[in-house]
Chain A
Amino acid sequence: MAIVKIKGLVKRYPMGGQKFTALDHIDLEFGKGEFCGFVGPSGSGKTTLLNVIGALDAPSEGSTVVLNEHVETLSQKKAAGLRNHHIGFIFQTYNLLPVYSVYENVEFPLLLLKIPKEDRKKKVLDALEWVGLMDKIKSKPAQLSGGQCQRVAVARAIVKRPELVLADEPTANLDSENSYNILEMMVKLNKELETTFIFATHDEKVMKYLRRKVHLVDGKVTKDEIIGKGAQ
């Protein structure tokens, strides 16, 4: 069953008087449990495509169905609901809320979902255990290393057990050891929880883990590469 179904997707940005085409007639499908990514040079449209899938950006043309919702027609509120319930985001710059502790950062998505307190606690601790940060529960983001911050971000993305995790250059600010740690963790999550991961990256380390690489150049898919087993 396809989790993401994209047909004839075009995204244009106004540029001066003209329009700039960032995504040019994309057709793609992603199934449940995939561990895949968009690769390509800078400016090729990786982030834009990820944002359209995440219902953060409205497409100009075509249909994009994410978890049975047509994102092109989704209201602002419905889009928020879709993200809230089903999609986890991981960013290059972690984007933790600086005034809140590790625990509270991970708890935040559950608060939005209005999950009762006891349940919340269990889920947060579960997620933090996953990423191996049980000893930093009370720390503030400023007291953590980059690798630890990104692990908090991963915990925040997966705490609500989303079907889909979208990760935009998650390793760009990390050294290789931390990058591998994070990637191993994601692979484990992907296997055990069947969470679908879609990356946008030009990091070789990430690419080694991908089981499917969608190559983008100038907003077009140039190659859709399935790799037998994903390197380990």
Chain B
Amino acid sequence: MIKFILKGLIRDRSRSLFPILMVSAGAFLTVFFYSFMQGVMDDLISSTAKFDTGHVKIMTQAYRELADQTPNDLSIIGSSVLLDWLRKNEKEMIWTPRIRFGGLLDVPDENGETKAQGLAFGLGIDLFNSDSPEKKLFNIEKSIVRGHYPDQKNEILISDELAKKMNIDIGGTVTLIGSTMYGAMAIHNFKVSGTVYFGMVALDRGTIIADIGDMQFALDMPEGASEIVGYSKDMLYDDKRMINVADGFNKRFTKTNDEFSPIMLTLGQQNGMDEYLMYAGSMGTIIVSIFVLVMSIVLWNSGLMNGLRRYGEIGVRLAIGEPKGNLYRWMILESSMIGIAGSVLGTLLGLGISFYFQYVGVDLSSIMPRSSMMLSNVMRAQVTPVSYIIGFFPGVFASVIGTMFAGIGIYKRQTAQLFKELET
């Protein structure tokens, strides 16, 4: 029987070709959409991870409570001890310390008089160590608008917008006025070696990037760090794995009675990212549901038309003595074959294009004004294991559901009625 159905399908193009193309178009779009959205979401997650949360982040418990205010008096004091331990025990991860700080930026003229002043937010990162991941992580070299990457002590990068606003020249001196770890006033002179573009309004308005060593000195916090961030070496965020890493660390180092003991949080546990991750996870379901719905309606319609066209066949088969149930099952079998064939085709095509966009990507650098730290200028798809199967849901479901609906009409009709319709 199945052979008989297949023969019919292969020979009758209007029965197979159009529906297969329909289904494969749907499966293709589903796979591609899904993979592409996955890529975009990943991008957003990874820029948050790079700049803010890490895949995991260690702070003192006290710092965590007030993290918004960058309370450096609550920083981690013996950061190098922790770093040594982390690097030894979590070898699959990259670890790096950072200091976040805020302050007043003062631009003096030749006479040392204030020329301009403004609030600035700053990040002290490891700029100079050869094994520091930061240079690559922040895409610093590509993001430089003017000047060059710092190569000497006390050289900093500032956002290009801030430099323009405050009339700061490359090579010029600026003074940061802040507070030390112990609450005293900190005044430190820096030399601007270059300007950068972040690609996010909030950051471009006024951000400084300095070396962590310089900041430890400026803020009087030797060995101190606001935070230590960790990334898995493949740079892919895996929530479960990171929770494991964090649990292991916290069991060892976090003490409930000591608010200065460190605590490690995963990306998912910070800044409401859990919701975002959940949303990213349910995105597949949303896309698939939409496609199943739309395609079911379209295929239902084409199933109805196909059914009309085949009234003759249906009538005569009933007259020959084929039970209606058999006919109905036949139609569903036919549609599942079409569904599977179309899904395979569409999925292959979708994966092909998605892989292309995963490795090559859509280069937006010609559209975007310049390279930035926050947004990668190449949009990429991300093929996940789900990409391989997701196309089959709309593909097979929709064609079977469409046919089931279309078939009910035939099923409900009186045999003789169908039969008469074919006589005319």
Name A's B-contacting residues (CB within 8 A). 47, 51, 54, 56-57, 76-77, 79-85, 87, 89, 91-93, 95-100, 104, 108-109, 111-112, 156, 168
Question: Could you show 22 A-B contacts with beta carbons less than 8 Å apart?
Answer: A47-B423, A51-B416, A51-B419, A54-B319, A56-B319, A56-B415, A56-B416, A76-B324, A76-B415, A83-B320, A89-B316, A89-B319, A93-B422, A95-B312, A97-B317, A99-B7, A99-B15, A100-B4, A104-B4, A111-B1, A111-B4, A112-B321
> Which of chain A's residues have a CB closer than 8 A to the CB of B419?
51, 56
Residues on B facing A (Cβ under 8 Å): 1, 4, 7-8, 11-12, 15, 312-313, 315-326, 414-416, 419, 422-423
Q: Which of A51, A77, A87 sits near B323, CB closer than 8 Å? A: A77
Asked if B320 and A109 make an inter-chain contact with CB atoms under 8 angstroms apart, the answer reads yes
- Nearest chain-A residue to B8 (Cβ)? A99
Contact of A92 among B312, B317, B423 (CB under 8 A): B423
Contact between B8 and A156, CB atoms less than 8 A apart:
no
Residues of B with C-beta under 8 A to A83: 319-321
Residues of A within 8 A of B322 (CB): 80, 84, 112
Residues of A within 8 A of B318 (CB): 56, 80
Total inter-chain residue pairs, C-beta < 8 Å: 82
CB neighbours of B414 from chain A (8 A): 57
Q: Is the interface of B mostly helix, strand, loop or mixed?
A: helix
**Known interface pairs A51-B416, A89-B320, A109-B320; A99-B315 also in contact (CB < 8 Å):** no
* Bound CA–CA A83/B324 (angstroms): 13
Q: In the bound complex, do residue A93 and residue B8 qualify as a contact, i.e. CB atoms below 8 Å apart?
A: no
Complex CA gap A85/B325 in Å reads 17
B407 smallest CB distance to A (angstroms)? 15
Chain B residues near A96: list those with CB within 8 A: 316
Tell me the complex Cα distance, A112–B323, Å. 9
Chain A hits for B422, CB < 8 A: 91, 93, 95
Chain A proximity of B251: nearest CB distance (Å) = 67
What's the Cα separation between A97 and B422 when bound, in Å?
Answer: 12
- Interchain nearest-CB distance for A42 vs B (Å): 13
Question: What is the CA–CA distance of A28 and B326 in the complex, to the nearest angstrom?
Answer: 33
Other A-B pairs, 5, CB within 8 Å; known A99-B7, A99-B12, A112-B322: A77-B324, A80-B322, A80-B324, A104-B7, A111-B4
**Whole-angstrom distance between the alpha carbons of A109 and B4 in the complex?**
12
* Complexed CA–CA distance, A59 and B96 (Å): 88
A170 → chain B closest CB, angstroms: 13
Nearest neighbor of A96 in chain B, beta-carbon distance: B316
Q: Chain A contacts of B11 at CB under 8 A?
A: 99-100
Closest to B316 in A: A95
User: Measured between alpha carbons, how far is A79 from B414 in the docked complex, in Å?
Assistant: 13
Nearest-neighbor residue (CB-CB) of A78 within chain B: B323
User: Across the interface, do B7 and A80 meet the contact criterion of CB distance under 8 Å?
Assistant: no
Nearest-Cβ distance from residue A222 to partner chain B, whole angstroms: 24
Closest beta carbon of chain B to A86's beta carbon, Å: 9
| Cβ-defined partner of A77 (8 Å) among B15, B315, B325 | B325
Q: How far is the CA of A231 from the CA of B4 in the complex (A)?
A: 42
| The 6 nearest A-B residue pairs measured at CB | A84-B321, A83-B321, A57-B416, A95-B316, A80-B323, A99-B11
- Measured between beta carbons, the chain A residues less than 8 angstroms from B320 are 83-84, 89, 108-109, 112, 156
Question: In the complex, A95→B423 CA distance in Å?
Answer: 9
Q: How far is the CA of A90 from the CA of B358 in the complex (A)?
A: 61
Shortest Cβ distance from residue B160 to the other chain A in the assembled complex, whole angstroms? 69
CB distance from B225 to the nearest CB of A (A): 75
Chain B residue at minimum C-beta to C-beta distance from A140: B11
CA distance A76 to B319 in the complex (A): 12
Nearest-neighbour CB distance to chain A for B287, whole angstroms, equals 36
Of chain B, the residue at the smallest CB distance from A94 is B316
Q: How far is the CB of A229 from chain B (nearest CB, A)?
A: 32
Q: Report the bound CA distance from A100 to B3 in whole Å.
A: 12
A-side contacts of B316, CB under 8 Å: 89, 91, 95-97
The closest CB in chain A to the CB of B327 belongs to A80
Closest CB in chain A relative to B388 CB, distance in Å: 33
Contact of B321 among A51, A82, A93, A100 (CB under 8 A): A82
Q: Which residue of A lies closest to B325 (CB)?
A: A77
